[in-house]
Chains A and B, each alone.
Chain A
Amino acid sequence: MSPYSLEVAHANAAAIDTVAFFAALADEMNANPDRFSVLGEAEMDAVLVMQSDDHDFCINLRFEGMRCDEVVEVLADVVHLADFCLEGSLSAWRAMFSDIVENGRATGMQTINALTLLGEEIKLVGSDPMGIDKFSRFNQTLQEFLDGAVVAFASTMKP
């Protein structure tokens, strides 16, 4: 049995379509400037959309400098205002975060670049190619941010 199986089970069951979860990811980033200062400053507005039967959860993440300073749930009709938007089913996002928790970071086809390049589970969309290209310009920062789920899950899972 994998030593991570409990955490993975938590990741699968966790409410990732919440502001609290992304606020925990932002806290993890902001508490670890060393991890991000080697990557340098980033400036981007990214919207993540998690689609499920009952509703689409849309969260806007604003990255400035070495921080994620804004975590705001937004309505589906304003997601085009972000630089880019990452859209996928809730189950696809769960699979991505489970992989991060299991391996300590995203691996194989579960990195955010791989998922969006394949585009079957999670799509990279936007109204401006320059905004879409920010996904590439700040990709390692975004990946490190998402990889923070390892810690964010541990903190949000505590009873």
Chain B
Amino acid sequence: MKVDPGTYESLPDVTPLGSALDWKWLRGAKSEWGVHPKPSPRGLTMLDIAVGEYGEVPEHPTHRSMAPRGADIDPDTVDMGYILNRKTDVWADNVRELYEEAVARQWSATRDIPWGELQELPDDIEHAMCQLCTLLTEVEMIAADLPAKWMWRMNHDFIEAKMFLCTQIMDEARHAEVFRKRALSNGGGLLVSRSSPTSLLRTIMEAKTYTQASALLHLLGEGFILDIFRMGEMISPTDVEKRMFRMAMQDEARHVAYGTMHLRYAVQQDPDVAEEIHEALDHGEQVLMDFGASPDVATALAVLLGGGVEYIEEKGFPLAFEMNRKQFTSYLARCERAGVSRLERTTVPLDFLGIDPDDIRRAGGVSLGANASAS
């Protein structure tokens, strides 16, 4: 509604107690006014309100405060101590979409898992499921701690990226919750925790830059965990575990999608960042391979994949090897997509795993099916 320019001129300059008043926000702030974003069919999304100046994310924000992007901001705002002040440090082109997806697809580990359908399982299978859940309960929270470690250092103009990371933190809390609940809910309990998972977690936590941390966490670590969830779903003894892994899988794939596209954005804007990412992954792949080969992870998965201790040699270990091949195939394909090709540099034993780099390189498709052939 248009207002007569003189309407707000006669407002008081001081409060009844004598404090100065300022009507700038009413008389004409310099920020964009009169925006009318149209809600999409699902409601008013973050993509819908990314209109005009409000949708423009600066490459190099001029402020270091928590002032909202697009507002009429005083030049002397307080410096919050942000160190991630370039858009390339944190941004991903899919981050608004992923935020909305995350909010829309939240679930409850209390309510949405049919806990009442748990069944008594053979002793070795229950032990293996509990061991897997022990490990997952341990590693999940790293993916909450890591974003939390960096978020308060991110410039507030990258609010959508920070909001997405908030959803990731909630997701990881729920993952720790659901796996802990599963370990404790069927007559078993938490089992063995040893040093190799912690070494991986520490490597991720101690990354020197956020982009290195994102490569280690979102691309490498969570890509690997995503495939463990897919494996978990496949070998779940009942629909309780199947649903648990499927729901967690959905969340995990969002985290991987953010990381893949963040790295891509960073490398596209500044090709020199690629070397920084490679250095992190050189070390990360080694630690991850140690983690995958650690005795508790390898044995628990082999028992579940085999269907019992009596089948580990004949079925469990061969299937675990095949799954390992798929995990690294998926990881290398995502690296290609991120613009950080690892095919010439990886320390993953591709020959030993039976991974042909040309299959991953070849334009036109990557099959994540039985033999990783291009399609």
* Chain B CB within 8 A of A94 CB: no
Are the CB atoms of A41 and B105 closer together than 8 Å? yes
Are the CB atoms of B370 and A113 closer together than 8 Å? no
Contact with B along A54-90 (1 / 0, CB 8 A): 0000000000110000000000000010000101000
* Chain A CB within 8 A of B211 CB: no
Are the CB atoms of B250 and A140 closer together than 8 Å? yes
Are the CB atoms of A119 and B230 closer together than 8 Å? no
Residue of B nearest to A105 (CB): B239
Are the CB atoms of A130 and B260 closer together than 8 Å? yes
- Known interface pairs A113-B233, A139-B246. Does A132 touch B260 (Cβ–Cβ under 8 Å)? no
CA distance A41 to B242 in the complex (A): 21
**Chain B facing A: main interface SS:** helix
Interface residues on B, range: 35 or more
* Chain A CB within 8 A of B107 CB: yes
Are the CB atoms of B104 and A133 closer together than 8 Å? no
Q: How many A-B residue pairs have CB under 8 A?
A: 117
Are the CB atoms of B246 and A125 closer together than 8 Å? no
B337 neighbours in A (Cβ, 8 Å) = 128-130
* Chain A CB within 8 A of B240 CB: no
A107 neighbours in B (Cβ, 8 Å) = 239
A120 neighbours in B (Cβ, 8 Å) = 370
**Chain A facing B: main interface SS:** mixed
* Chain A CB within 8 A of B343 CB: no
CA distance A85 to B368 in the complex (A): 11
CA distance A5 to B370 in the complex (A): 31
* Chain A CB within 8 A of B101 CB: yes
Partner of A111, one of B233, B323, B330: B233
CA distance A114 to B105 in the complex (A): 22
Contact with B along A85-118 (1 / 0, CB 8 A): 1010000000000000000010101010110111
- Known interface pairs A38-B112, A40-B104, A125-B368. Does A133 touch B326 (Cβ–Cβ under 8 Å)? no
Instruction: Kindly list the 3 A-B residue pairs having the minimum CB-CB distance in the complex, ordered from nearest.
Output: A123-B369, A119-B369, A40-B105
